[in-house]
Amino acid sequence: MTLLSVNLNKIAVLRNSRGGSEPDLIQAAQTCIEAGAGGITLHPRPDQRHVRPGDVRAIAALLRSPALQGRIEFNIEGNPFAAPRGEYPGLIELAREVRPAQVTLVPDGDGQITSDHGFDLMQDLPKLAPLVEVLRSLGCRVSLFVDAGAQGFEQAIAIGVRRVELYTGPYAEAFAHGHAHDVLEHFADTARRAQQAGLAVNAGHDLSQANLGTLKAAIPGLAEVSIGHALIGEALYQGLTTTVRNYVQLLR
C-alpha cells in the first residue's frame, strides 16, 4: 500500500495569520494519524512563513512518544543550501536535531510561493553528494524532488539517495484541464526508470482526491505520497478525519 504522509504546512499558515497557537499542529497531526495517515510531513523554510523550527521539534517529540515511536514516518522537506536565518538553523541542522526517518531535498527559494520544480540531477548531484552523506550518517533516508523526465538516477543511487519524489504539479494541472493522458505516460516512464535504477518513488504537489487515483494506477509500486494543500482545503468541507480516511482508502 502507498503510504500517505500529510503535510501540515497549511495548518501553520492559518495559525500564523492570527498569531497564537490555534489551530494546533500537534492536534492536527494526532487527528491525521488516528484517521490512518502513515506519515507526517513538514516543510520549514528560512522565512518561517508557515512551519517553524519549533513545530519540527514538537512533531518529532510527538512521533517519538511511546504510543507512536516506529509507527509513523516523519518526513521533513526543504532546501539544504538555504543558509540559517534567525531561529531557522538550516535543514541539515534541523535533521541533526530531530533525526527524521526521511529528508526530502527540494530546490526552493524565498521567491517561490510553493515548490515548482525539481533538481537537475546531472548538474546538482556533485554538490548534493556531501549533504546526502551527512544525512545518511544521521540515519535519515534521503529523497530528492525531481521533475518528470529527470535523468541521472544511477548517479543518485551511487551517492546514497534512496528515493525520488516526482513533482506532480504539471500532472495535476493537466488533469484539471482534462488532459491527464498527455502527461501520465511521461510520469510513468520516469517512475519506471527510477525504480529500475533501484530507487523507490514518491510523489507530491497538487495531488487531490480527484486526481490521486489516476496517478497511482499509472505508477505501480508508488511508495509514498505527500499531500497538504488540497487535503487541508478539502478538510474545510469534509472534516479532517473524513478527508484523511478518504485518501487512505484511495491509496488502498
Q: Which residues are tagged catalytic?
A: 43, 77, 205
CA distance 35 to 148: 31
CA distance 165 to 184: 15
Bridge partners of 226, per DSSP, are: 5, 204
The two beta strands, 141-146 and 39-42, are unpaired
- Number of other residues whose CB lies within 10 A of the CB of residue 242: 12
182-211 in b/e form (b: 16+ CB < 10 A) is ebbebbbebbebbbebebbbbbbbbbbbeb
* SS3 track for 54-116: HHHHHHHHHHCCCCCCCCCEEEEEECCCCCCECCECCHHHHHHHHCCCEEEECCCCCCCCCCC
CA distance 184 to 218: 7
Residue 134, burial from CB neighbour count under 10 angstroms (0-12, 13-18, 19+) = middle
Cell of 47: 522565512
CA angle 21, 27, 28 (to 5 degrees): 95
The two beta strands, 224-227 and 141-146, are unpaired
